[in-house]
Structure 1
């Protein structure tokens, strides 16, 4: 059987099972995301291990699924940005900023202290702290879309905070990695910051200034789907430059592309065209791919206690940190908890950071196994807690005073 035929069969299995899992989850009153994730775990090395079946022996299959999964999260974040009004994101500025700052600081301290308590050295402990600062908001964005809350005050705060969280967390990671290399001097750190800030400023300026003009010319082109093609090129271009120039995650560039195109007169056309293929193919592959890359058996008995503690810390510090940040910025008690629940998932971001630490010999493979456990647990609980938070009354557990539901968000 050729590699192409193997890929066709594998996609048939993965997309089909993901859709069935999502449908079953929806029938049980849960977000479809949860069903797709559990379907991935079922097919992954923890149980069925479909990628090692004799019929799927092509060495290129795993990398191909990985690349399609990466494209899925990139276009998912583009769609999320496309459906957010720019003025709504600006109005969420203060809340997003405070949420992101405390959503990085408190999880970092929680991870650092937990690692130190289990006997890790200072450098590995710092890295574990950095691991817990990561946020993968893709699952929350999908859940909010299903709940019809993406454009709510919570939704805009969550997405804005996720972008800032990504910037702050990766900036800290870049600085940390620079200090661990032979040329990690002060100027290296300064240059890292300059590139990061410079990319965001230049990309936003050029996008605001030239994208509308370019769109007007593109619409006059005599070719098939000129607007859709242009939008795809913008997404891929900003995702690429975010990684290579700005030292940011590609999803940040994709989200920015969505924001830039969200206030154009072709937004609805782009949304309809890209969403159809993305939700039919790429998004199911992305969600089920998380499970395919998760091997629960990689955790040894000695690591289980730390894995449990780290999962608890990962969940609790995001709820408390992000919740307090949102509360300080003016959101009420219930909204603060909703924001905190939406920022729990580490997803692929945590795995990428962990892989970087192993490759640079900062931490060993045991830490990667712990990260897998944290990623799996936080990914699975995020849609459950997020949906639950929209159905329950405000909780007093953060010891914060309740405020009226109609309180106006302060603009910062």
Structure 2
């Protein structure tokens, strides 16, 4: 690196953190998730404004690879945190209501997305039409579990029946989404032979059968969690990065390895330990993740938005919102969940946030999305995330009593608004 590159890299990082924090705080004051403001910071620094004059000056081609490297580390640790937050217990004990919501929230938007993809394929000419169609269906079916969890916490709904149902549904949808994305990448090939992709199965088995018990012995000996130290943090980071590198070497995206590492961390009896791990790794992510927003924003160019692109954007937005809301609502109602709680869960499942950006980034890397379609999908991700809070306030302001969802429970659960 030259001295000029070092200077520009440091200036870029300072600017990124300043704008991301500032717009994130502004979004929070407007009762929006901070991620909305942080994503907007990335878009504003991209080529949309002044036809790329800002982005070309601040982020020249010789500095962008350095930022991309930092962004990849940030998103890998973010995906580790997503895996860490997923709790299998949330998927149990919710019964048929969760199953109905999961099926509706996944199948309906996916089916509508397939139809949308067939329409978009004519203008965006994907090199792999089948993978493109499946990918678009997947992209409109995503829910951002971490953002949804924070919305529930901010509104005091995380411990309510509706909050638990939404978390369980989002967790299941997340697992389905990552598995589907892995299948899409395996089908495309990711630049590697298919025999390498097949190695993910024994790798998955080794992580579950070997690594998980070892981590439990290390962090929860004799059923009691150890005091988390800087050495433990270093070990966690090493494991997450090596796991990410392993799946990348197998022809899969590195996010799968990082996500998998988070899921095998100890759970039973280690709740406090997991919170500490998430807090410590979150401090690193808070610094690096805004870089990912800018790297993503550098690929978003809305300066050439015309009538045709507006029509495409309208269709993408309609399919994403109607499919996600309608599918979740119908799935929950099919299991006799009351209309207002069902509508609240449906609104929450429409949250996409950074999870959508990660998936769209994979699609861009694989060549399944061109620049214009990627830009439109990013706009959809921002708008659907921003609309979650206001819609939730409209459909779920007052307490609602939910009848028992299983035959064993005879009491009525009161849900806070």
Q: Normalising by structure 2, report the TM-score.
A: 0.75
- Show the counterpart of 2:215: 211
Of 150, 159, 165, the match for 2:171: 159
CA distance in 2, matches of 1:69, 1:200: 25
- Show the counterpart of 1:112: 114
Deviation, 1:232, is 0.9
- Show the counterpart of 2:414: none
- Give the direction of change, closer, same or farther, for the CA distance of 1:56–1:33 in structure 2 (3 Å limit): closer
- Show the counterpart of 1:257: 262
CA distance in 2, matches of 1:271, 1:132: 31
Segment of structure 1 superposing worse, 9-18 or 267-276? 267-276
> What SS does the corresponding residue of 1:30 show, helix, strand or coil?
coil
Within-5 A mapping of 1:111-150: 111-117=113-119, 120=122, 124=129, 127-134=132-139, 135=142, 137=144, 139-140=147-148, 143-144=151-152, 146-147=154-155
Q: CA deviation digits over 1:76-101, x for unaligned, max 9?
A: 33334434544224446977766555
- Show the counterpart of 2:234: 229
Structure 2 gap ranges (5+): 409-417
Alignment check: 8 A CA contact 2:216 2:265 kept: no
- Show the counterpart of 1:285: 291
Q: CA deviation digits over 1:31-75, x for unaligned, max 9?
A: 22222222222221111543311x654x34212222322322332
- Give the direction of change, closer, same or farther, for the CA distance of 1:141–1:78 in structure 2 (3 Å limit): farther
Q: Normalising by structure 1, report the TM-score.
A: 0.75
- Give the direction of change, closer, same or farther, for the CA distance of 1:355–1:296 in structure 2 (3 Å limit): same
What is the RMSD of the two structures over their aligned residues, measured on CA atoms?
A: 4.1
Deviation, 1:3, is 1.1
Q: Does residue 269 in structure 1 map to residue 305 in structure 2? A: no
Q: CA deviation digits over 1:140-166, x for unaligned, max 9?
A: 455455556567411243133212221
> What SS does the corresponding residue of 1:266 show, helix, strand or coil?
helix
- Give the direction of change, closer, same or farther, for the CA distance of 1:75–1:261 in structure 2 (3 Å limit): farther
Deviation, 1:13, is 0.6
CA distance in 1, matches of 2:204, 2:406: 25
- Show the counterpart of 1:52: 56
- Show the counterpart of 1:338: 347
> What SS does the corresponding residue of 1:352 show, helix, strand or coil?
helix
> What SS does the corresponding residue of 1:170 show, helix, strand or coil?
helix
CA distance in 2, matches of 1:108, 1:256: 27
How many pairs align?
Answer: 382
CA distance in 2, matches of 1:2, 1:85: 46
Deviation, 1:314, is 2.7
CA distance in 2, matches of 1:410, 1:383: 36
CA distance in 1, matches of 2:264, 2:153: 16
Alignment check: 8 A CA contact 2:74 2:292 kept: yes
Structure 1 gap ranges (5+): 396-402
- Show the counterpart of 1:28: 30
Q: Does residue 311 in structure 1 map to residue 317 in structure 2? A: yes
- Give the direction of change, closer, same or farther, for the CA distance of 1:329–1:6 in structure 2 (3 Å limit): farther
- Show the counterpart of 1:371: 374
